Amino acid sequence: MIRTLFKRNLMLYFRHPKTVIMSFVSVFMMLMIYILFLGSQHVNTIVHTLKTYNISADETDVSWLVNCWVLGGLLSIVPFTASRAGLGVMVTDYEERIMRDLKSSPLRMNRYPIALILASTVIGMLMATAVFIIVGVYIILASKHPFPIPVMFNVIMIVGLHSFMCACFMSYPVSYMRTNQDYSTLCTVVDMLIGFINCVYIPVGVLPVQVQNFLRLLPFNQATELLRSVICRAPMSAVFSDVAAEGLRYYQDYEGVITKFGPYFVPQWVIALHMAIWSAIFFVLFTKHFAKKRDEI
């Protein structure tokens, strides 16, 4: 029964090309803004900073690093927007009274939340993988540096966990939406905030310390830093090969490549565990609220 509902949710999402395209639009708008306006400024800032310490860096390598940094930010956005879009099936089911038909069918309604979360997670993973391939090809062509197999594997693993967390987290507020208009309003608000929360546009080090600490407590920002730590490892080694370890640590902290609170660095396994805990909490909240709404139908 879970597989039936799972396949139904996937088909409902992918049979509407407009929905799929809109999941990409915001991401590629961010990418184009960075390529056309912010990317060169970011590259020049790093080159100038290194020259201040009499360290020369290949501008191609610096550009490679910046592009990988941007890719990490984009891959933290896609699972959120795509998995959230997959949850819109539930709102439509309520608004169009389809939920009543499902309730009167042989399907067990307690399987509905599980199938919805799984489908939304797969949607987030597929869309993020597509962005990773498209932007990754651009980075390879521009830098002449391919992504190693272990890096690609780790990225897919992080994206999978991140997609699951986003699906669980957004399922709870979406379960309160009664109409697609309410759902669209919610999507507009969260899409505006997620770019700032994940520090996609600017490095986290630009912000006040209190704001940095608050954002780094959020699992979405931690997922961004986790992705960037994996994707940027090779270009950082190339750019900062002649820089002391303290200089590299400062860059990682300023750019949000590592998660740090004061003098303390957070291990990657702690971040993954934190994301899993958030997923479990909101999945329980969602299933309980869904059961309550199901009884009211």
As a whole number, mean pLDDT of residues 52-76 equals 79
107-154: pLDDT as tens digits: 677 788 888 999 999 999 998 998 898 888 888 888 888 888 999 999
Nearest to 140 by CA among 73, 70, 67: 67
What does the CA dihedral 229, 215, 183, 87 come to, rounded to 10 degrees? 40
* CB proximity list for 164: less than 8 A, separation 6 or greater: 117, 121, 124, 279
User: Residue 126 and residue 80: Cα distance in Å, rounded?
Assistant: 12
As a whole number, mean pLDDT of residues 70-98 equals 84
Nearest to 131 by CA among 21, 44, 1: 21
User: Residue 270 and residue 290: Cα distance in Å, rounded?
Assistant: 30
What's the pTM?
0.88
